[in-house]
Structure 1
Amino acid sequence: MGKIFQKSFALLVFSPIFFGILGGCDKTPPKTGTLMDFVPQNAAVVFKISNFENLRDDIDNNSLLSKFEKTAPYDFFIQKKVLLQNLRPSSQSLLCINQINDSLTAYTFISGLTKNLFRTDSLQNRTIESLILDGHTLQRITLDKEVAYSTIIDSVFVISSSQQLVQDIINRKTERDETFKKVFNLPSSNGFTAILRGRKVALNDSTKIAFTSWSALDVAIAPESIKATGITLATDSIPQLLNVFEGQVPQQNDISALVPTDAIGALSFTFNDAEKFQKKLRNFRDEKDAAQTTGIFGSVSEVGSIHFKEETAIFIKSIDASLTGDVLARYVSEKTEFRDIKIRSFSEPALFEKTFSPFINSEAANFVLQLDNFFVFTESEVTAQKIISDFQNNNTLRNTSYFENTATDLSTASSLLILKMKGEFSEAISGFFNEKSNKEIDNISFEAFPIAALQFSFDRNFAHVTLSCKEAGAGAIRKTGSVSEKFAIKLESAVLGEPQLMDGHNGHSNIVAQDMGNKLYFISENGKILWTKNLGAAVLGKIEEVEISGGKHIAFVTKDAFHILDRNGKDAKGFPIKFKDNVTQPLSVFDYDNNRKYRFVVVQGKELLMYDQTGKPVKGFSFGRAKSEIIHSPVHLRMGNKDYIVVAEESGKINILSRVGKTRVSVSKTFQFSEIPVAEEDDSFVVITKENTKERISQDGKISSQKLDVGSNYWFAILGNTKVTLDDNKLRINGKLAELPLGLYTKPQLFTLNRETFATITETQEKKVYVFDKDGKILNGFPVYGTSAAFLGQGNGKNSKYIVVKGDSDGIILYSSN
């Protein structure tokens, strides 16, 4: 954002707030008009106050203003409080602030003379002197080195910290500006109105720019928020930036859909006639020659900038993205691609500064990318990738509760919208007063105030103004979605299969993945590659996690070997076991009694081999060979106090065995097995056939059939008491429908964390990862970007979850969700 808006934000937004510390407010002011004649010349701000005492209480109770107790503005009020707090106006009063010089501010209080308005009798350590100036009597009041000057003119009481200002008021050297009178007399529905003089504000070290003339804002100070609404006027006598919006119809501000939550500020301005808007900007800059137009902005309705600590990005929003893309084509060249979004080089990096200065002052629009109807221009590829990630992961302002709360005060369409985030408004505030405040403000935490918004909507010859700054509760400060990208990492070649999460030591998790070079990677939750191992072949199916001799291990098979590795990538004793014949199914791991006395089952065609954790064949297991190919990894199911091992054959035969491999349930019927493994439901064996028939087999071998009214891509899975089904885009969890957008989806998977069950599923065309709870409700912050089925695991914290998924073809992404 240009420096003009850093300064104008402080002037137009926080002047009323922090100069308000010097005065009082509330209730609707009576319309007198007489007090206006006593306002000193060149007042920076004039406060109209109906209830001085109420305002003092409101300021004391406001959680934002109280943070500035030790800063220069607040300290200024503290030094004057003995005098100001002894004022007891019973009708409307004015508090005027004049900036005498860079380091000196003076106040003037004006009110109709009433009984007990200002009683000095009870003040201790006071000195009162009478002075005669220009035939008027005034009092010089000294109290603990604090000096003020008071007088009475035509039944109006005036007290000021500046003798010169009182003398000027006596001599009628008061504010005569016609625009000031106009805004002063505007009707108000509030008891506290701030009238602000439009100043020239610094654009850079040598240039100042006039933004507006006078503003009148009704200020509402609540314990947890500050809100101001009103109007601002610009005059034609001198160039003022607000006037460039004349004749433009405010358009919808969609910037919140694009701004990442960790940005520190953003600006959006809109127009419905780009050519007219650019012409007015050129006139404002006093440019005689019309700049050559590129035609890029003809189909654009919103332009703006996004500020990070180290860089500024620029965006335009198009009403016809294909048309804007066509016009941009001559200025771009292929650069790279990130998560299916092209990042291109842009040959006109100074275009936006030339076209939209002083709104945009960046000359480094080096790269361009497109996100829906937004075209975003960045200084670096790193920032381009960050904006893409945050947009795809819904990690933007629109998805936060605190912006949603602030947006209730704002119009959906405006001419100019300024956002300050992460407490960055503090720098603008302190810089407006003096350098001393900068140091005093450094240690103030603004975490509870994540955003302040200032909005202008031009309407004929004036603009509506809205300011909103609200405290967010501890839960609301976090992103509504509370999902963040913990890291993204690239492997040496494309990811093979799907990355998985493994429980690690001391509550930490690890990621295990393989690339197309058959290299196995073991990665920490912070994205560090702990070790790699060349396997020489692809892992079949899922990698299993086991605990042997008190240590965490991983177990899996390739086509020619059975591996068990410890957490350092070392082979367990007795492993790997090499095979001459090919392994044809993923490894099965049985832990019958949950006592870590594992049985590892390896399938080679028709043959089934069972090993213990030392790599030795299990003696006494009698089922050695099926009559036809085994088409699924064998499954262990426990019903009541009985264990069952289920082996499905290509012929349609189902073998339901005991622990020792003998037939435990005889089934006479054969089935057309689908890819869905045999599962247990309600103490029965469930087979989903290729014909979408649900076959139930009781423990005594009885069979019942149910024809399912589902599509061809139906899937069924069950974990404990949670069942999930997918039928096209209809996801049901325990019978509760979660209707998904139309698309192509991975098989839903179930995971249990901290006794809660969750389902994950990925739409592979739009590359969106969804996570649902057992009641079918999507978790906040999802979907996020991903290109594979997602694996869910325990995060670093009781309520924290990790989600690992493939990103680009060679990339892995780990998300953290609270």
Structure 2
Amino acid sequence: MGKNLGKLFTLLLFIPIFLGIFGGCDKTPPKTGTLMDFVPQNATVVFKISNFEDLQADIEASSLLSKFGKTLPYSFFTEKKALLKNLHPSSQSLFCINKVNDSLSAYTFISRQTKNLFKPDSLKNRTIETLTLDGQSFQRITLDKEIAYSAIIDSVFVVSSSQQLLQDILKRKTERDETFKKVFNLPSSNGFTALVRGNKVALNDSTKIAFTSWSALDVTIAPESFKATGITLATDSIPQLLNVFKGQVPQQNEVSALVPTDALGVISFTFNDAENFQKNLRNFRGEKNTAQTTGIFGSVSEAGSIQFKTESAVFIKSIDASLTNDALARYVSEKSEFREIKISSFSEPQLFRKTFSPFIDSENANYVFQLDNFFVFTESEITAQQIISDFQINNTLKNTSYFENTATDLSTASSLLIFKMKGEFSEAISGFFNSKSKKEIKNISFEEFPLAALQFSYDRNFAHLTLSCKEAGAAVKSILGMVTEKFSLKLESAVLGDPQLIEGQNGNGNIVVQDMNNKLYFISESGKILWTKNLGSSILGKIEEVEILGSKHIAFATKDAFNILDRNGKDAKGFPIKFKDNVTQPLSVFDYDNNRNYRFVIVQGKEMLLYDKNGKIVKGFNFNKAKSNIAQSPVHIRMGNKDYIVVAEESGKLNILSRVGKSRVSVSKNFNFSEIPIAEEDNTFVVITKENTKERISQDGKISSQKLDVGSNYWFTILGNTKVTLDDNKLRINGKLAELPLGLYTKPQLFNINRNSYTTITETQEKKVYVFDKDGSLLNGFPVYGASAATIGEGNGKNVKTIVVKGDADAIILYSSN
């Protein structure tokens, strides 16, 4: 689609740039009628201008138009603008551009003759000569080496850079096209209107197509944007592409929800009668055979293509996905699956070119997959996977602030919609210039203009047209808040447990994850596997981060060992510690005074063993054995200046101990402990029982009970000043409700990053990962794709966060969010 409608888009896009040197704008309705009679034949663009000076100020303030001062044909005027600069019309004027040849354009200025319009006597370095040719008298004006030709005809002042054009006007060889007269006389409340001849436009690399006859556009120029709105007319006398939309009602354009943000361009066209639309296209192409229309498009309302750097993708949007699937069934065969999306081979790769040419010229639609109501056809599986990834993490055009900004100018439904992204309209623009200017255009950066949109909405025998291009300023970019996928990495076998982010030795993040073969992977933030280690059994619970002798280490327990590894995967001195009896709870790590004098807690049934960082049993700890099996990993809680070690037993007994293992708080009641860890809230110990009763135990052993009106999957967690609960799909963060879609969710997890707290939770059926801030607001760009609980950590750069999650069964994904 790279060249689709490129030249039409170029021409319209550059309406304001043509004016960059010449125009004006005020609120006065223009007088029309007589000036039109002097427009030269075959003018490419005719500008109706109410006020020169206002428009010149707008042009000078425009960040886009200022880029073109030294490119053709604009340099022709900027470098020789002395004459035009000294024109002072007091009423409406016309400015016309004619293309003389491939490398030269000529202008013609037309306005009513007034006293102050042009005062040559006040100018220096000027020469005025009267010439007579073929019985016609006119003046040749030389001003600062600039040459122009002028005449006053019936009280109308005409000046042109081309002697031939002026002589033709004197001979009344002027624009007589009836469609031009119609658009010229259309009412306008704008002080600046562009009348654009709809010449043939390039739809692909080798073909030029007639699209419309004339367009009348009211142009608005602002410092950071420009907008053009109006109508465009097609005639029946010659085939023009706009007419293929006859009888079609414009449908809603939804492609922005599909287009990845790194795409370069999009074309989307809509129809409500697929058979008639295909018939119109065949007639336009001059095909005499009455080919059968394919049933694939009977349930489709929108189609088009997406351009990337190396290839393009075709899409169709269905109003009934099941019907479209049935129609496609005979053309597809399942090939692979990516993140639970089936990617199939497509046996008719030339179908779209045959059906929708010249809108679509792709002949390589080799693969197909479905995303919601979109069916997407790509040349390669890699592109298919990238589109799926971006769609699942909402990294699409619709979710950008610059699209939201541009969408305010557009209708939600149209016949034809074209997007040019990442400033890629520079390539389309170059088609208007000669080869030298193409090179100049390529050297101009348009990165601050991430999106330009051109929209046509067919209405009887004409179409409404809107063109919008806006600069994405620093403020707009800063609120974008997009999530990007840094990498997706496949392991040797399926992922076991949840991948974790841990802090690296130099502040860089690392990922640790285990696979079903019990191999432990240590992965860099760039997706490189730094080392692996075969453990022999699975890790219980989470991996803990510790610092020993100034170096970062990881600590964890398996059913038969306690391990501490350095960041190179080497065992710390004294480790691993092997056990004959099974370890029955995940490792707990206590750091009483935050001085890295760790106590590592291993639970084996009823036994509780404390080790120091050298792998030695801690002496003097008196609670070695409970009366029944320990139900949870013991926790350390600090209240005021007191430390408590809390140990829950399967019998229901709650032990609240001192550092040395002596009973510190006597608890008279037994509890039916759930999986929710015992926590501290408002200087009390909180137990959530299997019966969903919230038990509070004070530091002197007093107990208060509260029956919770919650479902069976209730969860409670607290970290610092942030408390999170989950009841079915009702997530509350510090009491603020964030209602989630109905589904099955992982336990919410809390993380502190840069003095801010974040909550992660994953819906496991739809595989969507949500991240909320401490105020209960969903972060921009979420949810994203993920199949496990997600860990969030600090990324490289201010306010940058990284999120790691399981993707496909054997893959992990690392996201970055700002």
**2:123 matched to which residue of 1?**
123
Amino acid paired to 2:188: S
Q: What does residue 652 of structure 1 align with?
A: 652
- Per-residue CA distance 1:436-463 (angstroms, 9 max, x = gap): 2232233333222110000000000000
Deviation at 1:20, TM superposition (A): 1.7
**What is the alpha-carbon distance in structure 1 between the residues aligned to residue 577 and residue 178 of structure 2?**
94
Q: Name the SS of the counterpart of 2:183 in structure 1.
A: helix
SS in 2 for 1:121: helix
Partner of residue 679, structure 1? 679
Instruction: Provide the residue aligned with 1:631 in structure 2.
Output: 631
Q: 2:770 aligned with 1:770, yes or no? A: yes
Q: Residue 730 and residue 207 in structure 1: after superposition, are their counterparts in 2 closer, same or farther (change >3 A)?
A: closer
Contact 1:400 1:479 survives alignment (8 Å): no
Give deviations 1:490-523, integer Å, cap 9, x for gaps. 1000000000001113331000000001000000
Amino acid at match of 2:774: K
The structural deviation recorded for 1:205 is 5.6
Deviation per CA, 1:128-169, whole angstroms, max 9, x where unpaired?
Answer: 211123433211112233211111000000011000000000
C-alpha contact (below 8 Å) 1:15/1:45 kept by paired residues: no
| Structure 1 residue aligned with 2:741 | 741
1:159 corresponds to 2:165: no
**Which residue of structure 2 lines up, in the alignment, with residue 370 of structure 1?**
370
Q: For 1:191, give the aligned amino acid.
A: G
C-alpha separation between the residues in 1 aligned to 2:102 and 2:660?
A: 91
Name the residue aligned to 1:282: 282
1:706: which partner in 2?
706
| 1:249 corresponds to 2:249 | yes
What is the rounded CA distance, in whole Å, between the counterparts of 1:212 and 1:664 in structure 2?
87
The match for 1:18 is 17
- How many angstroms apart in 1 are the aligned matches of 2:637 and 2:317? 56
Q: Where does residue 514 of structure 1 map in the other structure?
A: 514
Alignment partners' CA distance in 1, 2:478 and 2:458: 34
1:239-265 CA deviation, whole Å, 9 max, x = no partner?
000000011000000011111111110
Map of 1:537 onto structure 2: 537
Q: Which residue of 1 aligns with 2:192?
A: 192
**Distance of 1:17 and 1:723 partners within structure 2:** 56
**Partner amino acid for 1:41?**
Q
Q: TM-score, normalised by structure 2?
A: 0.99
Task: Give, in angstroms, the shift of residue 466 of structure 1.
Answer: 0.3
Amino acid at match of 1:248: Q
How far 1:76 moved relative to its partner?
Answer: 2.3
What's the CA shift for 1:206?
A: 4.8
Question: Once structures 1 and 2 are overlaid, which stretch shifts more, 521-530 or 14-23?
Answer: 14-23
Q: Which amino acid aligns with 1:17?
A: P
| SS of aligned partner of 1:505 | coil
Q: Equivalent residue for 2:799?
A: 799
Residues in 1 aligned to 2:651 and 2:443: alpha-carbon distance in whole angstroms? 74
Deviation at 1:189, TM superposition (A): 1.5
Letter in 2 for 1:58: D
Provide the alpha-carbon RMSD of the alignment: 1.1
Q: CA offsets per residue over residues 164-194 of structure 1, 9 Å max, x none?
A: 0000000000000000000000001100000
Task: Report the secondary structure of 1:507's partner residue.
Answer: coil
SS at 2:712 equivalent: coil
Map 1:398-417 → 2, pairs under 5 A: 398-417=398-417
- Alignment deviations for residues 522-573 of structure 1 (CA, whole Å, 9 cap, x no partner): 0000101111000010010000000111111000011111110010111111
1:208 Cα deviation after fit: 2.0
* Structure 2: runs of 5+ lacking an equivalent: none
The answer (yes or no) to whether the contact 1:510–1:523 under 8 Å persists in 2 is yes
Deviations 1:272-296 (A, max 9, x none): 1000000010011101112333210
Q: Deviations over 1:291-330 (max 9, x none)?
A: 3332100010000111111110000001110000011000
TM-score under structure 1 length normalisation = 0.99
Aligned partners of 2:193, 2:749: CA distance in 1, in Å? 58
In structure 1, the residue matched to 2:602 is 602
2:612 paired residue number: 612
User: d(CA) in 1 for partners of 2:73 and 2:224?
Assistant: 20
Amino acid at match of 2:488: A
Which whole-Å CA distance do the structure 2 matches of 1:597 and 1:69 have between them? 69
CA distance in 1 between counterparts of 2:160 and 2:511 reads 69
The one-letter code matched in structure 2 to 1:595 is N
CA distance in 1, matches of 2:587, 2:373: 47
Does the 8 A contact of 1:399 with 1:481 survive in 2? no
Task: Verify the 8 A CA contact 2:603 2:630 in the aligned structure 1.
Answer: yes
**TM-fit CA distance, 1:403:** 0.5
What amino acid is aligned across from residue 25 of structure 1 in structure 2? G
- The 5 Å alignment of 1:713-792 reads 713-792=713-792
Aligned length: 817
1:431–1:437 CA contact under 8 A, matched in 2:
no
Structure 1, gaps ≥5 residues long: none
Structure 2 Cα separation of the partners of residues 505 and 57 of structure 1: 56
Which deviates the most, 805-814 or 203-212?
A: 203-212
Using the alignment, how far apart are the partners of 1:83 and 1:297 within structure 2?
Answer: 57
SS in 1 for 2:432: helix
* Alpha-carbon distance in 1 for matches of 2:517, 2:418: 50
Measure the CA separation in 2 of the matches of 1:602 and 1:803. Answer: 29
What CA distance in whole angstroms lies between the structure 2 residues aligned with 1:348 and 1:645?
A: 68
Equivalent position SS for 2:476: helix
1:692–1:707 Cα contact (<8 Å) kept: yes
2:483 alignment partner AA: V
Shift, 1:600, TM fit: 0.4
Matching residue's letter, 2:507? G
Q: Aligned partners of 1:812 and 1:695: how far apart in 2?
A: 38
Deviations 1:763-791, CA, capped at 9 Å, x for gaps = 11111100111111111111001010010
Asked whether the 8 Å contact 1:395–1:479 carries over to 2, the reply is: no
In the TM superposition, what is the alpha-carbon distance from 1:203 to its structure 2 partner? 4.1
How far 1:397 moved relative to its partner?
1.0
Query: Percent same amino acid among aligned pairs?
Result: 80
